[in-house]
Chain A
Amino acid sequence: MIRRNPQDRPPNLPLDRAQDRPLDLVRARPGPSFTVTVDGRPVDALEGQSVAAVLWSAGTVAWRVTRDGRPRGAFCGIGVCFDCLITVNDRPNRRACLVAAASGDVIRTQRGEGHDDLAH
């Protein structure tokens, strides 16, 4: 099953198709991949994947920096921990593990976790 053109990959990613193996295991036939941008860099995405899944398959596990400058990514994977916060199409503080990726999404990594506008 081929879904990515190896030439399209960012040069730092190995080409052993490791990220395709879960798709192969379940004999997935996803739709054609589309592009989102992550901090301006184009990244391949599949319809039906969360933003966190898109980032993981691009080899990225860190996309937020805490107030004291430490990197974070997805931790609980199910919307509980809020470690995976990310800015999607100018909306900050979205949980990457829950938000579905859509074609043309402008994704930006974020610093801190602005508490404005929410009550717990």
Chain B
Amino acid sequence: MTSPTNRLAVVGAGPAGLAAALTAAHHNIAVTLIDSAPQPGGQFYRQPAAALGARRPQALHHAWRTWARLRDRLDAHVAAGRIRHLPGRHVWFVELLDRGFILRTLTADDEPEVFAADAVLLATGAYEKVLPFPGWTLPGVVTAGGAQAMLKGGLVLPGRMAVVAGSGPLLLPVATGLAAAGARLAALIEAADPRAYGRHARTLAAHPGKLAEAAGYAGRLLRHRVPVLTRHTVVAAHGTDRVEAVTVAALDADGRARPKTERRIACDTLAVGHGLLPHTDLAGALGCRTDPARVVVDAQQRTDVPGVWAAGEAAGVGGAALALAEGEIAGRSVVAHLTGERPRIRSTAATSRTALRKFAAALDAVHTPPAHWAEQVADDTLVCRCEDVTAGAVRHAVTELGAADLRTVKLLTRAGMGWCQGRVCGPGVAGVAGCPPETVRRPFARPVPLSVLARTPSPTEGRQE
């Protein structure tokens, strides 16, 4: 059964999806806002469940006033019937019909539902990239964003003594969040060289707000007496049933671990990340162009498939402020498309999008993983966590079996064929194999029970509905 056509369907209730939904609803477009999380907010504004009774949730957040405004406007539009907010539903497939779209969703209990729309905005955000190292599968080793998400959403910590490591701007809020919540921070290990910021001084200076935010994090790290090691990397995590310590080493100018600089740091938690990767599966299945790892959009956030927009980190990683600007622009473009009017993109939103993209590009250039990280991955280290495929097996596929691309490596080793469909191991396998990363086309955005697929009409049947 298909529900009555709602004009705009927004997938994802993070900053980008919320900004777009609010903009469209403000212009009298009926919006269906579908999000897999139980609460709106996405990653940046992830909220604890109401039942946890947090009276001061802002203690774990930044830019809370912006969130409070978004939430109040969302509540008002929902009350007025202009936005239908559907939390707890994962869109696994968006189907293009002759006119309009069908969105197929599953609840947390795998209950299927179907929604129709005239236009679709993909605001699915990103997930974390983690490059493999010996010991990275030990319990207590978690992604940096994952530690943050469990803290903001569930008000829990994985342990008491944490090391935060990897590279990228996410490590700072994660470290300060864990410390504020009562974890002791044994160290913050960042692969980048802060002196590299000098090369981007002009871009950075154009964002006094962002610099103040960074300074705020630095101040909090000092206050919590967190030792910070830059141009360092975790070369191994140790333990049997859970992580008990990590070995870190300094990096040389080429990005190799320097011999004799290794030191062991005791911890029961390692929160690690090497940047973010956009969720592009729905766009890929719709036939939208992706550039290898983000949805390609034009100045109005339109994809190359008519009726489909993308905004926020799905269209390129750049943080919450950029996601808000892109969401607003996308919302206005959708309004123009559905009403036949000229798009009225606010020049302030366009200007801030340009500036924030430049800022994101500068951060991205500074925060690169160590150039030779793959050399530290011992042969017996798992690279594919789902299928238990070791680095040695991947290397064997390349050097002995002649695999020259990732597809062949996957067929020969099963790396990337498990539950996560290569989302977690993709960059690791590519690095260890020495192959360039490839765009992976996944038919669905999450595993779907066969019982649901069996009841799903094929796209042609769908068109006849």
Interface residues of A (CB under 8 A from B): 18-19, 21-31, 46-50, 52-53, 56-57, 61-62, 66-68, 70-83, 85, 97-100, 113, 115, 117-120
Q: Is B385 an interface residue (CB 8 A)?
A: yes
B134-176 near A? 1/0 per residue, CB < 8 Å: 0001111111011111110111111110000000000000000
Hey, which chain A residues are within 8 Å of B57, CB to CB?
26
Residue in A18, A76, A119 whose CB lies within 8 Å of B143: A76
Q: List 14 A-B contacts (CB under 8 A).
A: A22-B156, A26-B60, A30-B53, A48-B48, A48-B154, A56-B158, A62-B242, A68-B388, A77-B145, A77-B150, A79-B446, A82-B419, A115-B419, A120-B443
B227 to chain A, nearest CB (A): 21
- In contact, B157 and A76 (Cβ under 8 angstroms): no
With contacts A29-B55, A71-B242 taken as known, whether A53 is within 8 angstroms of B154 at the C-beta atoms is yes
Q: How far is the CB of B419 from chain A (nearest CB, A)?
A: 3
Min C-beta distance of B40 to chain A, whole Å: 15
Is A75's CB under 8 angstroms from B154's CB? no
Contacts of A29 in B (CB 8 A): 53, 55
A74 in contact with B449 (CB, 8 Å) = no
> B182 contacts which of A22, A117, A120 (Cβ < 8 Å)?
A22
CA distance A98 to B147 in the complex (A): 14
Contacts of A98 in B (CB 8 A): 36, 108
Judging by beta carbons under 8 Å apart, are B108 and A72 in contact? Answer: no
Nearest B-chain residue to A23, judged by Cβ: B155
A77: contacting residue among B139, B142, B424, CB under 8 A: B142
Contact present for B140 and A61 (CB under 8 Å): yes
The answer to whether A120 touches B59 (Cβ under 8 A) is: no
B interface SS class: loop
> Which residues in B have some Cβ–Cβ distance to A below 8 Å?
36, 38, 43, 48-57, 59-60, 90, 108, 127-128, 137-143, 145-151, 153-160, 180-182, 241-242, 385-386, 388, 418-421, 423-424, 442-444, 446-451, 453
Pairwise interchain contact A48-B49, C-beta atoms closer than 8 A? yes
A-B contact count (CB 8 A): 181
A27 engages B55 (CB within 8 Å): yes
* Nearest opposing residue in chain B for A68, CB measure: B388
- Cβ A80 vs Cβ B420 within 8 A: yes
Considering the chains assembled together, what is the distance between the CA atoms of A24 and B52 in angstroms?
Answer: 11
A116: shortest Cβ distance to chain B, in Å?
Answer: 9
Q: Collect the chain B residues with CB atoms within 8 Å of residue A119's CB.
A: 444, 447-450, 453
Residues of B within 8 A of A19 (CB): 156-157
The answer to whether B149 and A77 have CB atoms under 8 Å apart is yes
Separation of A81 and B145 alpha carbons in the complex (Å): 13
Minimum CB–CB distance for B105 against chain A, Å: 14
CB distance from A79 to the nearest CB of B (A): 7
Interface centre among B43, B182, B241 (most CB of A within 10 A): B182
B128 touches A76 (CB 8 A): yes
Return chain A residues, CB-CB under 8 Å to B36: 79, 98
Q: Given A25-B60, A28-B54, does the pair A53, B448 have CB atoms closer than 8 Å?
A: no
